[in-house]
Amino acid sequence: MKRIVIFASGSGTNAENIIRFFNQNKTAKVTQVLCNNEHAKVIDRCKLLKISCLCFNKNDFLKKYTILNLLKETADYIVLAGFLWKIPENIVAAFPNKIINIHPALLPKYGGKGMYGINIHRAVKENKETETGITIHYVNENYDEGAIIFQAKATLLEEDTPEIIAEKIHILEQRFFPKIIEDVILNINE
């Protein structure tokens, strides 16, 4: 049974979906959620789901080895579910091809610093894209540049607002993210 630690910063809908998926699974289980925002709704979701949620600060994450040492004890895989900070090189090096992120656009378009949430969907709308989607990828030392594992697309209509685009992306995230995580774990272990 592999151990998954989720990093989250916000509402936690993807984290909850992943936790519920792996509660019914023999491949892996979510052992903990780590959060960099003490006001994030993901904390309440973790309480309801009876999953440990630890909040941490930037110093523990970047300058000390607090988070790295914790991960070495509790994680086989790390999943980023709406986590907005760049992962430090020491964590990337300790978990090669074992840190998985989801990005709400079809990378390499609309990636990089500042490209998250509604910012992406506004840019997609402003550029009159006819499709967008999700990209599930490994994390490396640069924002949104790790090897792509999986992409799913959604067709856009001219009248779609950034909020409607966000809804289409959320449906893809909920449908595919847990299953692709499971596939990664199973393929590596074969």
Which sequence positions are flagged as catalytic?
A: 103
CB neighbourhood size of 70 (10 A): 16
30 membership: H or E segment, kind and range:
strand 28-35
Which one-letter amino acid corresponds to residue 92? V
- In eight-state DSSP terms, residue 141 is S
Concatenated DSSP letters of 33-102: EEES-TT-THHHHHHHHT--EEE--HHHHHTSSHHHHHHHHH-SEEEESS--SPPPHHHHHHSTT-EEEE
